[in-house]
Every structure is written in structure tokens, then in C-alpha cells.
Structure 1
């Protein structure tokens, strides 16, 4: 049975939801924060019972959080994050199973997809995954790069923030239109009314409280943008599967830019929900589980003993 990690425990970079049965493979999910990592239990429970499931949680990396709070002091890079993930993955593979690869799949949600792709490229062929599944993940390409210091379009980011707020509060927030030329405070005031109407926030919620949450949200977006700005990933070394939410961050692009990096092929699919609720809705978890590439057993790693 899939389990949720103890919320009172300090976060660990790698947390097991379920052990793999003998001869079965493991799905490793890369979680970039925003929502609790325990929400992956839904996908873990939707996968076959014999399939192992583990989460690589960036929330356990202090430098990742600090890069959003104090960007001027951060020296964090995607390469450093991928190094940390590779170390945790390798330790888990060799320490638990005696296997190095061949029976794993990486799944990355949102910015986690960028790191899952990077991790697959960092691993040697004999230790890497069979494929990478990208959950509504935007590719780290020039087309999706936001220029540092340029103004953020409130209409776009408010829509994303409304999804996030609704997922956190268990309600669907439908933001109304933002008047042309409106500043952020005007847009947030409109969203506050929409969120109250949807039951996501109590009537007495102050605008300042919503603004603080919005600033933290946009700080995370800008951090990820800064990390991808100098990053030039190589094409994927394994097949990619892009699974968009029905209400995706970018509705107009079926591949979200990953076509440029699909060195071994790319398939695209859609599941119910939006960018955030696709991790929460049982119907989305079932659909995602059915799209994860089937796993095959990997050979055990044996050590030859010297002759006496």
C-alpha cells in the first residue's frame, strides 16, 4: 500500500512510498515543491501493486528554497541539483536492490520534469531509466525563457496562481478577466473576490495576505526561470512522454517545447484537471499510471570474488 510520508518528519531528498516486489521495477518522481510531496501517494496507489515508488523532493534541498528567497546570494545551478538527484538515485538503486538500472522510470512534474530529463542524461545507459514522463512540464528552451527584470503579465500569472490557490484550498477558483493595463494589486483584488466566491478563502481575508502568498509563488517561478536561463540541455537519451493537464499552464502548445529535446522520440497525452490538481485527482492519477512505460526487470549486479 502506498503511504504518505510523516508530515512532522524533516524532508528527505529521497522518500519511499512503496517497495518494489521481487523482480519488479520502481518509478522515481521528481517533485519541485509548491504542493506537498505526499500528494504523489495518489499516483503511487494507482500504479500496479508490485511497482515500487519513490519521490525525489527538492524541498529537502535548502539551497533550492534559499534561491527563491534571496536570489542575489544564490549560486545554485541545475547541474548542482541534478548531481544531488543522481547521488540519491544511485544510492537507492545499489543499496536496496543490487541493481543499477534498466527497471526504472523517471516522472517529473512541472519544473521537476526539467530535472528528470537532466537526471536521465547524467546517468550511464546501464543505470538510467527506460523513459522520462513529463507532467505538464515546460521545456528549458529559449521559447519559454522570461527575460530577467521584464514585467510579468498579470493575466497569465494570475491564472496560474488561481490554479495553485484552488489546489491548496480544495476549491476551483475561476479568475475573471483582468483589465488591460491593470497593475498587480488591481488584479489581485479581483482574484481575491473570485477566491472568496469559490469558497477558497474566507470573506475576511485581507488583500495583503493574498499578496504575500502571490509574491512567494512568483518568487518560485522566477527562481526556476533563473536556473533555466543559462542551462542548455542535450537531447534526451531515452523516450519522453509528455502528459499535459486538460487545463495546462500553456494550452496552445501540445509538447510544451519538448519536441526540441526529444532525441529518442516524444509521445503526448492529456489527463483531467489543471496543472496542480493533476497530482490530486484520482481520475488523473489513474490516467497517468496507465501512461507510464512498462517496467522490465534489470539484472542483478554481482561482484566476482578473486580465486583463492
Structure 2
């Protein structure tokens, strides 16, 4: 059983990249881990002068890490995460003078950012929530644990992650029909070496270890969202997908199912991970905070609660 880490402080959860001048807007980004919290520096630097930027880091919450390392011992819920970050946000907003705010949630962080917004009193809420390639916690995108996620999908996502971690793109070949995850990892290792992402002689065990850690995070987030039912979104939502998104076909990744307003849909360069790293993507995202003229409006659906 994993050892229980010490309790995180609010200072560890909140990472300020830019201070907020009196009365200025603050952008709060909810970060779900996977990449280091410093990847937000590009976006912070691309925002207009006078805009503060802070990250609410889920990875600084011990219970969130434990839920991946030792799921059987975890009683963590999405509501618990929302409660933790809401308290930190309230303290940070008071410290910065209570000016206007925008929430940004990348990946699973979008689920928590939306949940925080609907948990806050109307006068405390941000004026918009910007979702960065974030999949809505609706039944459409939940996977029963005994079914698992299609290995073709997971390996494509893992190839993106590996490339972002190493600063180079992996041109991964499609997984042949009938192949299992181990076959796919062997192919991906060859492709990563050929692209210079991994050095020659990288042992397969290193790839499998990294993949196991990556999938532990995916499965944790899926377990957390399975029983969770999001509140309807009264605050305007904008979905900014990566050009090479986790899921290509759906422009809002399910958020139109829970929104009371039309969801503005946009696309920026990169993939799910490099959209936080590439300067051109950061500049494009900064221009949509708070969302300006939407590239496409997707009307809300009311058949999912």
C-alpha cells in the first residue's frame, strides 16, 4: 500500500505566474497533472498586460495522487476535488481584490473548473469557463472499468504524451488489427527511436513503466467521473480543441449536452499536450480568454442531466 503523503497546503496548490493589478482580471487554470505545472508559462506570457494568471494544481493534492497509485484505498470523488480547489480559489480571489475572473480547465481540469463554477455563489463565479481539449463527464464519454478504453485510442494519446514530454513529435504507426497493447508499445518504441524521441537501446521495460504510470492517471480520472453527474452550466463555456484532439469528431467534446448557453467552439495548433507548450497555440488561446467571437456555436442539448 502506498504511503500517505503529507497534506498539501493552499500555497502548494496555487501557483501564481503573474500578479493581478487592482481591479484587473485573473485567469485561473485548473491543471490535472501529466505535464509539469510550468507548461502554463507560455499562456501566462501571451495574455494582455494587466491580466493576472494563476494555476490551481490538482497534482499538489495528495489524495489525487493516491487515487492513481492505490485506487483500492482511495475514497476520492470529483466533488471532493471541487471542494478543495474552491476553498483555495476563494482565498486567492480575496487576496487579489476580487476582480473579474476567467477559469481555464485543460483535460480533466475542465471537469473540475466547471464544477467549481457551479459550486460558487453567483457573485463569486467567473464570467466564463474556457475548456482546453476537455472531455465532458457525460455518459457518452464514460467507460465502464471492466470494459476499459480501446487500446488504439490509448496508444495514440500516449504517443502524443511521450512526444510532449520529450519535446519532439512521435509519428506513430496505426496499431494493426488484432494487436494488443504490448504489440502496440513495441511498435511505438521503434517509432519513437526512429524520430529521435527516445535513444537507441531504450529497453522495452522503460516504455512499459511509463505507459503504466500514464494509464493509471487515465483510469483514475475515468473512475472519478463514472459516478459524477455535472451540474448544468449556467456560465458561458468555450471549448478550445487541439488540431490533433483527443477526440476528433465532436466540436465541444460533449459539453453542449450540459450547457444552458451555446458553447463556442475553436481550434488551435498542436495536439492535446503540445497545445500548452507551443507558442502559437498559447497566443491563439490567449486571444480567446475570455472567449470573443466564437468560431462556431453549438446549441445546448437538454437530453443529458
* TM-score, normalised via structure 2 length: 0.90
How far did residue 156 of structure 1 move? 1.0
Q: How has the CA–CA distance of structure 1 residues 20 and 227 changed in structure 2, closer, same or farther, with 3 Å as cutoff?
A: same
1:39 aligns with 2:36: no
How far did residue 264 of structure 1 move? 2.8
Runs of at least 5 residues in structure 1 that lack an aligned partner in the other structure? 1-9, 296-308
Runs of at least 5 residues in structure 2 that lack an aligned partner in the other structure? 1-9, 293-305
1:104 aligns with 2:88: no
1:179 aligns with 2:193: no
Measured in 2, the distance between the counterparts of 1:180 and 1:170 equals 29
How far did residue 15 of structure 1 move? 1.1
Runs of 4+ aligned residues of structure 1 deviating over 6 Å after TM superposition are none
1:256 aligns with 2:230: no
Measured in 2, the distance between the counterparts of 1:34 and 1:244 equals 18
Aligned residue in 1 for 2:121: 124
Match among 192, 206, 210 for residue 207 of structure 2: 210
Measured in 1, the distance between the counterparts of 2:229 and 2:32 equals 19
Aligned residue in 2 for 1:7: none
Aligned residue in 2 for 1:91: 91
Q: How has the CA–CA distance of structure 1 residues 152 and 96 changed in structure 2, closer, same or farther, with 3 Å as cutoff?
A: closer
Measured in 2, the distance between the counterparts of 1:111 and 1:21 equals 29
Match among 238, 241, 265 for residue 262 of structure 2: 265
Do the aligned partners of 1:108 and 1:116 also contact (CA within 8 Å) in 2?
yes
1:212-227 residue pairs with structure 2 within 5 A? Answer: 212-227=209-224
How far did residue 294 of structure 1 move? 7.0
Aligned residue in 2 for 1:235: 232
Aligned residue in 2 for 1:61: 61
Measured in 1, the distance between the counterparts of 2:162 and 2:190 equals 13
For residues 68-95 of structure 1, the C-alpha deviation after alignment (integer angstroms, 9 at most, x for no partner) is 1111111000000000110000011113
How far did residue 50 of structure 1 move? 0.4
Do the aligned partners of 1:174 and 1:194 also contact (CA within 8 Å) in 2?
yes
How far did residue 21 of structure 1 move? 1.9
Aligned residue in 1 for 2:4: none
Aligned residue in 2 for 1:26: 26
Aligned residue in 2 for 1:115: 112
Report the aligned-residue RMSD: 1.4
1:135 aligns with 2:139: no
Q: How has the CA–CA distance of structure 1 residues 11 and 278 changed in structure 2, closer, same or farther, with 3 Å as cutoff?
A: farther
How far did residue 204 of structure 1 move? 1.0
Aligned residue in 2 for 1:161: 158
Do the aligned partners of 1:11 and 1:60 also contact (CA within 8 Å) in 2?
no
* TM-score, normalised via structure 1 length: 0.90
For residues 262-294 of structure 1, the C-alpha deviation after alignment (integer angstroms, 9 at most, x for no partner) is 113310000000000000000000000001117
Size of the aligned set, in residue pairs, is 283
Aligned residue in 2 for 1:80: 80
